[in-house]
Amino acid sequence: MNILMIGSGGREHALVKKLLESPKCTKLYCAPGNGGIAADAELVDINVMDKHGMVEFAKKNSIDLAFVAPDDPLADGMVDVFEAAGIRAFGPNAKAAVIEASKVFSKNLMKKYNIPTAKYEVFDNVEKAIQYVKSENTAPIVVKADGLALGKGVIIAQTVDEAVAAIKSIMQDKKFGDSGNNIVIEEFLTGPEVSVLAFTDGKCVKPMVSSKDHKRAYDNDEGLNTGGMGTISPNPYYTDEIAQECMDTIFKPTIDAMNKEGRPFKGCLYFGLMLTPNGPKVIEYNARFGDPEAQVVLPRLKTDLVDICEAVIDEKLSDIDIEWYDGAAACVVMASGGYPLSYKKGIEIFGLDQKGQVDGAVVYHAGTKFENGKYYTNGGRVLGVTARADNLDDALKKAYAAVDKIKFDGAHYRKDIGKTK
Ligand code: AMP
Ligand code: GLY
């Protein structure tokens, strides 16, 4: 099969490597990809939002399967355009991807179908929103822009004044553009967070092994929220009992709810959960693999990913068994100095060979460029250094041993992946 991966981050590199393991994959392209993906797939220079460009390329190159990995093109209907052109594509259509693209939609869905989540109110008016946080008079309180905001549209206000400032910055100053025309204000929940990605064909849902993201920039969960500084799988808090509870109260009800709304979800649905004292609750849905969750979940996948993609597209997911490697995986993100604020690009990276592999660990490239035989930084998150082992300790040791061999000016990474609460 000729396969086209769409996207350019560490998640896409992990997907590319997994697809390459399939005997069915004879030719693999990635658009636009990055410096590390170039060693595994043929890069195609098409902008990630150019859905018509992607389809044109797919037609010319007899693509049998297109895999749309990032949130923006999914929300923008790239899968719809592939389908209209008769090209098989993995990922939800725009109507289903709205579960991530609009927090107002997802919160209302959960309320309507009794799926456990934080209590909330929706506002399209600054004064009313401010009045509400003042009358509630509780903190912390959470203010969220409705739309996609590169994962940054969530503000945890520690005081009522901070909440008022957050409302103004989102709704008046348009800090996140039109994403902030509507906002959700919700109750602050506490408890360990768990990421569960699930394959679903719209009828059947098969959760993958669990994972835990470390979202803050610095050790001990200090500093700003980032796209993710590292992950482990499995998540130590996610017991079999909790998994069953989530299946009954969250996963199946969500799939059913999307069907009832006439928006069957096909692809990978990401459940961002919080294990609160009152049971597991949904913090957010994503309409795609998480990044860097994919980097620890996919290395544990034993079953052919191409077979799974086909089963999802053909709505035959219940027919296949999905198998996983026991043990654990860990991913340490090496980021550019300054990330998640401003950072330099184009800094040479030392210690990678051309395949980017170090002593049995796998290095997924997130933001790199390959030029004249050398790798350079080209983004905030640069590399996801990952290892799988029989247990978490060994996976972490292996990943950190590999991190030690990789150098670039200003590189920063967390030293406590897998160790925090
Ligand atoms: P989101 O983009 O919705 O995943 O939010 C980013 C992060 O903000 C989450 O991973 C949580 O750590 C935190 N967060 C979001 N909503 C809440 C909430 N209601 N209570 C506590 N923390 C939250
Ligand atoms: N790691 C969180 C996300 O992919 O949204």
Which of 297, 319, 341 corresponds to the end of one domain?
Answer: 319
Q: Residue 205 falls within a domain, yes or no?
A: yes
Same domain, 177 and 273: no
- The answer as to whether 233 is a domain residue is yes
Q: How far is the CA of 290 from the centre of ligand 1 (A)?
A: 15
How many residues are given for the chain? 421
Domain boundary among 293, 319, 345: 319
On whether both 138 and 51 belong to a single domain, the answer is no
Ligand 1 centre distance from Cα of residue 200 (Å): 24
CA angle 268, 192, 416 (to 5 degrees): 95
Residue 118 is assigned to a structural domain of this protein: no
Kindly give, in sequence order, each residue whose CB lies less than 8 Å from that of residue 114, ignoring residues fewer than 6 positions away: 253
276 Cα to the center of ligand 1, angstroms: 13
Whether 409 is in a domain gets the answer: no
Same domain, 17 and 38: yes
How do residues 152-185 score in pLDDT, each as one tens digit? 789 999 999 999 999 999 999 888 888 888 999 9
In a domain, residue 120? The reply is no
How much is the pLDDT for 109? 98
CATH of the domain at 163: 3.30.1490.20
The pLDDT of residue 177: 84
For residue 103, the ligand 1 atom closest to its alpha carbon is: 3
pLDDT in tens, 101-134: 999 999 999 999 999 999 999 999 999 999 999 9
β pairing state of 65-68 and 2-7: parallel
Per-residue pLDDT of the chain (421 residues), as tens digits, is 999 999 999 999 999 999 999 999 999 999 999 999 999 999 999 999 999 999 999 999 999 999 999 999 999 999 999 999 999 999 999 999 999 999 999 999 999 999 999 999 999 999 999 999 999 999 999 999 998 887 678 999 999 999 999 999 999 988 888 888 899 999 999 999 999 999 999 999 999 999 999 999 999 999 988 989 999 999 999 999 999 999 999 999 999 999 999 999 999 999 999 999 999 999 999 999 999 999 999 999 999 999 999 999 999 999 999 999 999 999 999 999 999 999 999 999 999 976 666 777 999 999 999 999 999 999 999 999 999 999 999 999 999 999 999 999 999 999 999 996 5
Q: Give the closest residue (by CA) to ligand 1 atom 9.
A: 283
User: Which residue out of 291, 295, 297, 298 has the highest number of ligand 2 atoms within 8 Å of its CB and is therefore the one to mutate?
Assistant: 291
Looking at the structure, tell me whether residues 173 and 201 fall in a common domain: no
Indicate whether 352 and 315 sit together in one domain.
no
Query: What phi and psi, each to the nearest 5 degrees, are found at residue 276?
Result: -85, 165
For ligand 1, the distance from its centroid to the CA atom of residue 154, given in whole angstroms, is 7
Asked if residue 54 and residue 144 are part of one domain, the reply reads: no
221 and 265 co-located in one domain: yes
Q: Which pLDDT score, from 0 to 100, does residue 213 have?
A: 96
Residues 246 and 224 in one domain: yes
Angle at alpha carbon of residue 84, lines to 83 and 85, rounded to 5°: 90
User: Is 220 domain-assigned?
Assistant: yes
Domain region containing 307: 193-319
How many structural domains is the chain composed of?
A: 4
339 and 302, same structural domain? no
Domain check: are 307 and 246 in the same one? yes
pLDDT given at position 353: 78
Q: Is 92 within 8 Å of 265 (Cβ atoms)? A: yes
Q: Using alpha carbons, select from 350, 342, 394, 386 the residue that is nearest to residue 368.
A: 350
Return the best residue to mutate from 154, 196, 270, 275 for the ligand 1 pocket (most ligand atoms within 8 A of CB): 154
CATH assignment at residue 11: 3.40.50.20
- Decide if 105 is inside a domain: no
- Is there a single domain that holds both residue 55 and residue 12? yes
Ligand 2: nearest atom to the Cα of 11: 4
Please identify, among 260, 292, 319, the residue that sits at the C-terminal boundary of a domain: 319
Query: Does residue 147 belong to any structural domain of this protein?
Result: yes
CATH number of the domain enclosing 248: 3.30.470.20
Peptide bond between residue 277 and the one before it cis (omega within 30 degrees of 0): no
Ligand nearest to the CA of 152: 1
CATH of the domain at 335: 3.90.600.10
| Amino acid identity, position 108 | N
Q: How far apart are CA 30 and CA 82, in angstroms?
A: 16
Model confidence pLDDT, tens digit, residues 133-158: 999 999 999 999 998 887 678 999 99
Do both 199 and 306 map to the same domain?
Answer: yes
Name every residue whose Cβ is closer than 8 Å to that of residue 6 and which is 6 or more positions away in sequence. Answer: 12, 30, 31, 48, 54, 66, 67, 68, 69, 70, 73, 78
Question: Is the distance from CB of 209 to CB of 235 less than 8 angstroms?
Answer: no
Q: What is the dihedral of CA 158, 161, 167, 173, to 10 degrees?
A: -120
- Give pTM, 2 decimals: 0.96
Q: What is the distance between the alpha carbons of residues 380 and 56, in angstroms, rounded to a whole number?
A: 31
